[in-house]
Every structure is written in C-alpha cells, then in structure tokens.
Structure 1
Amino acid sequence: MAGRDARAGHDTARRVLRWGICLGVIVCVGLAAPAAAESLPEAMARAYQTNPQINAERARQRATDENVPQALAGYRPQIIASLSAGLQQVRNLLPDNTVQSATLKPWQIGVTVTQVLFNGFKTANSVRVAELQVSSGREALRNVGQGVLLDAVTAYTNVLANQSLVEAQRANVAFLRETQSITQKRLNAGDVTPTDTAQAEARLNRGLSDLNAAQVALAISQATYAQVIGNPPAQLQPAQTVDRFGPRNREDATQLAFNQHPAVMAAGFDVDVASTQIRVAESSLFPTITLQGSASKSRDNDPTLGTRGTDQASVIGQLNQPIYDGGTAASQTRQAKEIAVQSRMVLEQVRSQARTAAVSAWVANEGAKIAVSAAESEVRAATVALAGVQKEASGGQRTTVDVLNSQQDLIQAKARLIGAQRDRVIASYTLLSAIGRLDVKTLNLNTPDYLPEVHYHQVRDAWHGLRTPSGQ
C-alpha cells in the first residue's frame, strides 16, 4: 500500500510539473506572434488613414481654411447685376382736362460695382484673424492626431495582452482539471481525503471564472480595436516601446511640452486671434470710404410718357463716419478685450496642464520600467517556488492545496507581467504624446502624412467656384 501511494505521489508531481511547464510555454507563445502578423506601426498607420475622429477633424480644418478667402473678399469689388420687367397701365390727366392713357412694358437692366477703399483696417485685421484661426486649427488637428495614434496603441496592446491572458487562463484551467482528476483518483485509492478533491474542484471553478472574465475582456478590447483601427484584429506582433524618440530627462520633457505641445501652440494662436479681434471691433468706429460705379438702361418706364427710354452711368465716392450707434461698437470692443484676457488665462492653464502631463508621463514611464523588472523577477521566483512545492508534495511534505496555491501564485505573477508589459508600451507612447511628438513623421509610419496646408493654398486665392478641391 505504501509503495502504491509513493508511486501515485510521484505521478502527481510529474503531471503537475508537466502542466506548469506547458502553462509557461503557452504564455510565452501568447506574447509572441508569427512573422506575418500585423505590427503596431501598421495598425497605427491604418488608424491614421481611416479613423473617423481624425477624418472629421480634417474636414473641420478644411472648413476653417475657408475663413481666409471669405476675409480676403473684403479687398475685392462687389458686382451686382439687376434686371426687371413687367406691365404698367398709365392714365394721365392733362391740364386741359384731357386724358392720356397707355399700357407700358417697362424693363430695366443694370450693373453696379462697389469697391471699399477704407473701412478702418477691418479687412486687413479680419484676414489676420482668419489666418491665425487656420494656424490654431492645424495645431488642434495635430493634437487630435496624437490622440488617435495613442488610442490605436492602447487598443492594440490591450488586445495583445488580453489574448495572452486568455491563453494563460486556458492553460490554468487545463492544469486544474488535470489536478482535480488526479486528486479524484487518489481519493478512490484512499490516498487523500474528500477535502483535497473539494479544494481541487473549487480551484477549478475559480479558474473557469477567471477564463470567462479574460474572454469577456478580450471581446471588448477586440471591439474597441475595430472601432479605432478600422478592422478586426488578427494575429498581432509584440509591441515595442519608443523610448528612442522620447526626452532624455524630466526637465527636457517639461520644456518640450511647454513649448511644443500642440494644445499649447493652439492656445497661443487663440490669444493672437482674440487680440486681433479687438482691432476688428474697433474698426466700426472709423470712417468707411467706398467707390461705386453703375450703368443701366431702361425702356418704357416713364409714367408721364415724356420719354421712351433712359441710359445712365455714374461713378460715386462715398464717405460714412459713424457718430453714434447706440453703443454697439463700444460694447463689442470691450467684449473683445475681455475675451482676449480670457484667452491669455486659458493659455497659462493649458501650459500648466501640459507641464503636469509631461511630468506624469515621465514618472509613469519610469515606473513602468520598474514594474516590468519586478514582474519578471516575480515570475522567476514563482516558477522556482512551484517546482519546489511540487517536489515537496511528491515526498509527502506538501498537500494538494499547497501545489494549487503555488501554481495560482505563478499564474497571477504572469498576469501581472503581461499587464506590466502592456503598460510599459503605452507609457512610452504617452510620454511621446505629452511632449507633442507622437506623429507620423517622428514614428516614420508607412503612410503619407496629412498636410493641411495643401488644401489651404488651394482655396486661399479662389475668387469663385462651388466645388471643393476634392470635387464635391
């Protein structure tokens, strides 16, 4: 009987050790992918091309570009053509009490050209405002692009990590099923008590619950991936960090964020917009000088029947000086000044936020490095501990629950390692985003960079035309 129990103990130890080795192999396979799998740079390039959020922001920027030709229209003449025609019944009573009547068919055609010569520099300042709005919009677009690329990184690494966690939990369930089966056989042989089988069964059910939770998390991350990237995830390659593009130290990170982050740049342009808007509002207090030329031809439009037709041409200069408009211009000027004060405060707030975000990103990235190193050490120690417990269990010095606990410690350590590796990649990209360098050019992604200035130059000097440069 003692020999049979010893052989059963040795068999149990060998099987537990075999499943522990398989578990480690499956987790490693989950973290690696075949050579033909999709890489993180490829996923980021696809998101940069197809993500609805960034494409909507590009459309918004193209609409902002149109503010410039609208402002430039103030320098150009306004031409209006007019045409009128109709029927007119005329009945004139003459001094000799005779009646003169006629049915006229009057018509008139004319053209009027108006050119503003001076409007208190309103046109010049309006053009300046529009150009500054374009510059601010470009920085806002760049900031949205950073956000989309960071969302792509997060979605990619979440899928990669959750795939590895699912495989690890599947291996864990297989290990627990084998342990439960062995424990049941040993119970039938009288080698263990019903408590051991109950413990093995309870741990198996916990493993099934953990597997289900991992599968749910994977399904959610896959849906998010499809939303951000534009297609469902397939096999994914391991993601690499981008520390080579990041700052050298915390001081460099804060300085770069303070000066180069697109949110800070956009807020700076918004200050210039608000300051220039003051001069636009003040222009309403200046005189306006216009030159108007007109020419017209009319026929049968004289109800006195004294003339049959009239041809006219004129050139008129006009000067208008506002005297009192009820206080509208003064109120608009005061309002513009307050908005300028607000925009300067917003700029300081954005700079402070950028500085804080850069420090947080730097600290998180450094912390992620430590977390990965600690998790790797924990996995190595847990692996050694499991092997030791298995040997002790085969010698009768450890119980089944000791083996189960040690194996559970190992699977939890590997789950923490997977999470730490995911966080490490995200933290490096977050740091790059915090300093304003998370873009196609810096990362050298295999996709054309969207250049907003192309559309700007296409429409800036357009005098007419309803179609957009894209043909819509």
Structure 2
Amino acid sequence: MIHKKIKIFSILLSLLLASTQPHAADSLLSLYQAALNYDAQYKGTVADTQADREEINKARALFFPKAQLGGSYGRGDTDRVSQTLFGPREDTLKYDTKNLALTVRQPLFNKETLATYRSAKAYVKGKEAILQNETSTLITRIASAYFELLYAEEKTTVLQNKVSALGQQLGQASKRFEHGEGTLTEISEAQASLDVAHAELLEAKNSAEAYKLALSNMTGLQVEVLAKLNTEKMATIKENFGQLDDWLKTAIENSPEILSAKYALEVAQQEVEKKQAGHLPTLDLVGVRSYSENDSNNTLGSQFDTTTVALQFNVPIFAGGFVNASVRQSVSRVAAAREELNQKTRDANTNIQKYYQHLQSELLSMQAYTQAVKSSEIALDGTSKSFNSGFRTNIDVLNAQQRLYENKLKLSKSYYVLVNDIVNIKHIAGVLNEAQLQNINQFFLTN
C-alpha cells in the first residue's frame, strides 16, 4: 500500500513539474512544419495534385494494346418455310446460339494520342507549379500572422508600460493639485490619456488573440510563446540581400505562377495539335480470336473457330467543318494563354520591384526610428527633470511619453514589415521554401 502511494505521488509530481516547464518557443520553421500536416488549404492542393498526376498515366495508356473479351449465349426459335417438289414446307427449329470473341487492338499511328500525352505532361507540370506556389503561400500566410502576433504582443507590452506611466502621472497631478501646485486641466489631460491607453491596450490584446487563433487554425497547435525578433541581425539585411536585377532574373526563371502560365501555354499548343489530328489517318493492328455456334439461321448446325490479324486504318474525309472550327478555336486559346503568360511575367516584375523598393525604404525607416527612439528617451528624461524642477508641466511630460511610445511602436513595426518584405520577394521569385525559411529564422531568437 505504501509503495502504491509513493508511485502515485511520483506520477503527480512528474505531471506538476512538466506543467511548470517553460513552453518551447515556436519558430516560423516549426509552425510551417506543423502546418504541412494540418492546414486544410494546403492539404487540399496536395490531394488535387496527386489526382492530377494520374493524367499522365491515363494518356500513356492510349499507346498500349487494348484487349476486349465479348460473348453471348442464347436460345433460338426459327420458323422456316422451304420450297420442295411437293410445295412449301414449314419447319420449326429450336437451337442454342454461342458466340465468344477476344479482340486485341494495338495503335500504330495516332497523332491525337501523341498530342494528348504531351498535353498531359505539360498539364501535370503546371499543377506541380501550382503546388509549389501553394507551399510558398503557406509560408507567407504563417509568416504574416506570426509577425502580426509578435507586433501585437510588443504593442501590448508598450501600452502596458504606457498605462503604468500615465497612471503615475495622474497620481502625481492629483497630488500636485491637492497641494495647490497643479491644475484640473493637468488631471483631466492625464485621465483622458489614461483612458485612451486602456482602450488601445484592450485592442492590442484582442488583436494578439486573433492572430494566435489564426496560427492555431493553420498549424493545429496551441500557440503560446513565439521566438522573438533578433534586432541585432537586422543590420545585416542590406549587405546580404542581393540586387534588384538578380531578383528579377530569379523570378523569371523560378516563379511558380510564371511556370504555371508557361505550361498552360504548352497545353494550349498541344490542343491545336490534337484538333489538327482530326485531318490525319489512324492505323491500328487488330487481332481477333472468335468462336461461334449456330451464329445465324444460315449456319445452323455449324461451328466456327476463327483467328484473324489485320491492319486497320481510318481516313477522315469530311466532318462538316467541325475539325477546322476546332482548330481555329484552339489557336485563339493559344493566343489567350500567351497573353496570360505575359501578364504573369509583368506582375512578377512589378511586385518584385515594389517589395524591393519598399524594403529599401523600410531600411531607412528602421534607421530613422532607431534614432527617434533614442532622441525621445533623451527628451523624456530632460522633460521629466524639468517638470520636477517646476519648469515644465505635466502635459509636457505626457506628450514626451507619447512620442516615445509612438516611436517605439513604429520601430517595431518597421522590423516586421522589413522581414515580411523579404518573405514576399522570395515568394514572388519562386525560391521560398523550407531551406529559405531556415535562413529567415536567423532573424529570430530560437534558443
């Protein structure tokens, strides 16, 4: 009994210790790996791609022999009238009918089959490009929610400090008023600022919960602690990020959307080949092995066991203009697919330039806000000392605090916008994958 109690106590102690262990920080990489097995949008695309891959097997099957076995068994009842020297004679014949045939057909030449196979290969490559794009999109969705959550948490911390500071300022203003040194205006200003800060704090907390829920919906994990941004690493971005022309070239070669449009153009071109094949002959090798008994009234009482091998060809002569109309229709769709490719290429170029220029701008903003935070801290310290000496008012201190908090939030926001621009550029360029995500992880404190 004592041993049993000791065992139960040990289990409870282990559970208690486990519950008190700090939760390991979730990184972008760990959340992405979890989402691969949970996110419904991504898994749906994976399933669709697996289904689309079978198009190649379906098209390849057209080149192989087709074997068909057919047969019938029945009962015949025939009334027969035959002419004799003595006049017409009527007979009733009852008999069994049997038919069995094995047919094997091997296509030898069919231009439409060849075009169908090439079209299927291009179609599947296009779907693979779409899957690659969806994989990259999954990273951008996780990254966006991740950065927004980190910013909301930092905003919550800043606003909590702001509420605390404003509460102290309100207390000081009240005491000064009680001693006849302050004014009701100072108290009102401090109270109004505090009320606004409480509202902003509540909004930031709600925003953080919303982004936690978004990440949970994508990963299936209960997100609690995120790896924080390593701001010291941010200074290395400009040197290691590369030039605009390099990213434009990479996008042309690797963008999943451009690749998908290229393969769609190839599918459209093969469709023209398929339709033009309607003017061409087809050639098949056909072998038949058949057995029949009482196959017709003329073969009653006879059995036939036959083997035939033949070359069978079909030459289209006239289809009422259907083939020509189909070819013209397919040619127009090639033109449409080519314009779609042009549009995707231009969009990629535009978006690469947009995010690259925005990244350069954010680098300057980050430097400016870093300096602004330092200046605001110095200004707040000087204003506070002047207030204590009676040279500044409480409103001056509140304004100085407000500027500091605003600059801190702007700096924080610029960090996340900067990293998000990196993610978006790599996404558009078609190189955003798990390996790239590991590189992006260097900007976060994962330990």
TM-score when normalising by structure 2: 0.85
Q: Which residue of 1 aligns with 2:15?
A: none
Query: Which of residues 100, 111, 116 is equivalent to 2:102?
Result: 111
Query: Which of residues 291, 295, 301 is equivalent to 1:297?
Result: 291
Distance 1:425 1:305, change over 3 A: closer
Distance 1:305 1:279, change over 3 A: closer
Query: Which of residues 139, 143, 151 is equivalent to 1:153?
Result: 143
The offset of 1:244, in angstroms, is 8.8
Distance 1:169 1:58, change over 3 A: same
Per-residue CA deviations over 1:255-293 (Å, capped at 9, x if unaligned) read: 222233222222222222222222221111001122222
3-state DSSP of counterpart to 2:228: coil
1:334 and 2:322 correspond? no
Query: Which of residues 393, 396, 411 is equivalent to 1:399?
Result: 393
Could you tell me which runs of 5 or more consecutive residues in structure 2 were left unpaired when the two chains were aligned. 1-21, 441-447
Name the CA distance, whole Å, in 2 between partners of 1:359 and 1:246: 17
Q: How does 1:279-298 map to 2 (within 5 A)?
A: 279-298=273-292
Q: Which residue of 2 aligns with 1:233?
A: 223
3-state DSSP of counterpart to 2:367: helix
Name the CA distance, whole Å, in 2 between partners of 1:444 and 1:235: 19
Name the CA distance, whole Å, in 2 between partners of 1:315 and 1:260: 51
Q: How does 1:61-100 map to 2 (within 5 A)?
A: 61-95=49-83, 96-100=87-91
Q: Which residue of 2 aligns with 1:413?
A: 407
For the Cα contact (< 8 Å) 2:98–2:293, is it kept in 1? yes
Alpha carbon RMSD of aligned pairs, Å?
A: 2.5
For the Cα contact (< 8 Å) 1:58–1:141, is it kept in 2? yes
Q: Which residue of 2 aligns with 1:40?
A: 28
For the Cα contact (< 8 Å) 1:37–1:235, is it kept in 2? yes
Name the CA distance, whole Å, in 1 between partners of 2:186 and 2:165: 16
Name the CA distance, whole Å, in 1 between partners of 2:44 and 2:52: 12
Name the CA distance, whole Å, in 2 between partners of 1:160 and 1:319: 70
The offset of 1:368, in angstroms, is 1.6
TM-score when normalising by structure 1: 0.81
For the Cα contact (< 8 Å) 2:140–2:424, is it kept in 1? yes
Q: Which residue of 2 aligns with 1:467?
A: none
For the Cα contact (< 8 Å) 1:243–1:428, is it kept in 2? no
Q: What letter corresponds to residue 327 of structure 1 in structure 2? A: G
The offset of 1:247, in angstroms, is 4.9
The offset of 1:337, in angstroms, is 1.5
Distance 1:439 1:343, change over 3 A: same
Q: Which residue of 2 aligns with 1:178?
A: 168
Q: What letter corresponds to residue 236 of structure 1 in structure 2? A: L
Name the CA distance, whole Å, in 2 between partners of 1:246 and 1:135: 32
Query: Which of residues 126, 134, 149 is equivalent to 2:116?
Result: 126
- Larger displacement relative to structure 2 (317-326 or 305-314): 305-314
The offset of 1:323, in angstroms, is 0.9
For the Cα contact (< 8 Å) 2:29–2:434, is it kept in 1? no
Q: Which residue of 2 aligns with 1:353?
A: 347
Could you tell me which runs of 5 or more consecutive residues in structure 1 were left unpaired when the two chains were aligned. 1-33, 447-472
Q: Which residue of 2 aligns with 1:194?
A: 184
Q: What letter corresponds to residue 348 of structure 1 in structure 2? A: N
Per-residue CA deviations over 1:92-117 (Å, capped at 9, x if unaligned) read: 23435443224434332222112222
Distance 1:167 1:379, change over 3 A: same
Q: What letter corresponds to residue 371 of structure 1 in structure 2? A: S
The offset of 1:76, in angstroms, is 0.8
Per-residue CA deviations over 1:158-214 (Å, capped at 9, x if unaligned) read: 111111111221222222223223333333333322222222211111111111221
